[in-house]
Amino acid sequence: MRLLTGRPNVPDEYKLLHHVTKILESRRLTNNGPRVCQLEEIVAAYLGVRHCVAVANATLGLQIAAKALDLTGEVIMPSWTFVATAHAMKWIGLEPIFVDVRGRHLDPALVEDAITEKTGAIVPVHTFGAPCDIDEFRYISEKHGVPVVYDSAHAFGCSYNGNMIGGLGACEVFSFHATKFFNTFEGGAITTNDSDLAERCRRMRNFGFVDYDIVVEVGINAKMSEIHAAMGLSLLDAPLVAVNRDNYHRYRENLGELLMPHDEGSNFWYVVVETDNRDKVAEELAKIGVLARKYFHPGVHRMPPYDQREWDLPNTERLARRTLCLPTGPTVSKDDIDEICEVVLKWS
Ligand SMILES: *Cc1c(COP(=O)(O)O)cnc(C)c1O
């Protein structure tokens, strides 16, 4: 395939190699090294949030957030998401409860209906970087005393009304996986304004250690290494939003209403078309060397082990059938976009 959705963004080679040389010289490879600390500081300042806890990936980040909040019972989430949102919780014994979407986001009214005494948390997703119904979830959270943990895996660099996504709910969890807008090969971050929660997350990501030889609780290994942090530091000042925005507008000129809209606060990393003939469009794109991805098909509720019960999610089913995520980023040219759009328009 010549063009792919989610082809990784890479930094200037010499920036990264310089870090690698320094890391090897210092023999400080991991365990909260200087580059991890620096990345955390920069990310926290950029997002306007008090604490950033770097982790090995967002899946572990979600699990640590859940453990640090002492969640039990059920967690309400969309099914129209990447499977990790559900797996992260299921893996640690929490039960995902899938609620339908309104537009592309978890529907707050249906969430409120689904809350019971077993509900441990609400886990909305800022799908494709667009902020979900933040004010409604804040209201529901306060009214029912249920914490909100945002799966912000798509939303690094995105804002709403001029505020960066990152300080919402009890905490937010970002993914820095290679296919995401901003990457550290593998990686992620928990961001929060709650100092006690941040401290607990820091402890838990490092086996529960508070000092040499002193462990105070059960923890896991979710540390980010220095090489991973160096990748992030090297990529931070790349003009990624500008490139993606230009690409998005080119797509938009070609495809108009077929394209899911983004507002100005987006990182423009997800270029998503919605069409009845999604599968045919994907097939025809593959013929010209374009791997477009069917995010999110078939919906997590249709995957084992979640398909054991009947879920009534008509909007999720419809989107899972109709959406296709197209390539963008610095490796995609204007001509590539026009060529892709020709196929999309012909077969939609
Ligand atoms: C990518 C992704 C994750 C998982 O992130 P990792 O860093 O790969 O663990 C979780 N949720 C959503 C919505 C994602 O897209």
> What are 298's two structure tokens?
């078939």
d(CA 286, CA 259): 19
d(CA 89, CA 339): 41
Name the helix (H) or strand (E) containing 192.
strand 188-192
d(CA 322, CA 32): 43
- pLDDT-derived band at 280 (thresholds 50, 70, 90) equals very high
Per residue in 293-343, pLDDT tens?
999 999 999 999 999 999 999 999 999 999 999 999 999 999 999 999 999
Q: Residues lining ligand 1, judged by CB closer than 6 Å?
A: 57-59, 81-82, 84-85, 125, 151, 153-154, 175, 177, 188
Give the Å distance between the CA of 82 and the centre of ligand 1: 6
Instruction: Find the mean pLDDT for residues 55-75.
Output: 98
Q: What is the pLDDT of residue 166?
A: 98
Q: How many C-beta atoms lie closer than 10 Å to residue 48's C-beta?
A: 14
DSSP category for residue 194: -
DSSP category for residue 223: P
d(CA 116, CA 97): 11
Give the Å distance between the CA of 193 and the centre of ligand 1: 22
Q: What is the pLDDT of residue 42?
A: 98
Give the Å distance between the CA of 62 and the centre of ligand 1: 9
Q: Please identify, by atom number, the ligand 1 atom nearest to the C-alpha of residue 60.
A: 9
Q: Please identify, by atom number, the ligand 1 atom nearest to the C-alpha of residue 84.
A: 10
Give the Å distance between the CA of 6 and the centre of ligand 1: 13
d(CA 63, CA 54): 13
The chain-wide mean pLDDT, for the chain, equals: 98
> What are 245's two structure tokens?
């925005």
Instruction: Find the mean pLDDT for residues 264-269.
Output: 97
Given ligand 1 and candidates 82, 92, 220, which is best to mutate, with the most ligand atoms within 8 Å of its CB? Answer: 82
Q: Is 63 helix (H, G, I), strand (E, B) or coil?
A: helix
- At 265, which amino acid appears? G
Q: What is the pLDDT of residue 302?
A: 98
Contact (Cβ atoms closer than 8 angstroms) between residue 338 and residue 254: yes
Q: What is the pLDDT of residue 8?
A: 97
* DSSP assignment of 126-165: -GGG----HHHHHHHHHHHT--BEEE-TT-TT-EETTEET
d(CA 323, CA 317): 11
- pLDDT-derived band at 227 (thresholds 50, 70, 90) equals very high
Phi, psi angles (nearest 5°) of residue 275: -155, 150
Per residue in 170-216, pLDDT tens?
999 999 999 999 999 999 999 999 999 999 999 999 999 999 999 99
> What are 233's two structure tokens?
């530091």
Give the Å distance between the CA of 27 and the centre of ligand 1: 30
DSSP category for residue 125: B
> What are 95's two structure tokens?
């039960």
Phi, psi angles (nearest 5°) of residue 126: -80, 75
pTM above 0.95, yes or no: yes
Q: What is the pLDDT of residue 291?
A: 98
Q: What is the pLDDT of residue 180?
A: 98
Contact (Cβ atoms closer than 8 angstroms) between residue 246 and residue 222: no
> What are 135's two structure tokens?
């004010």
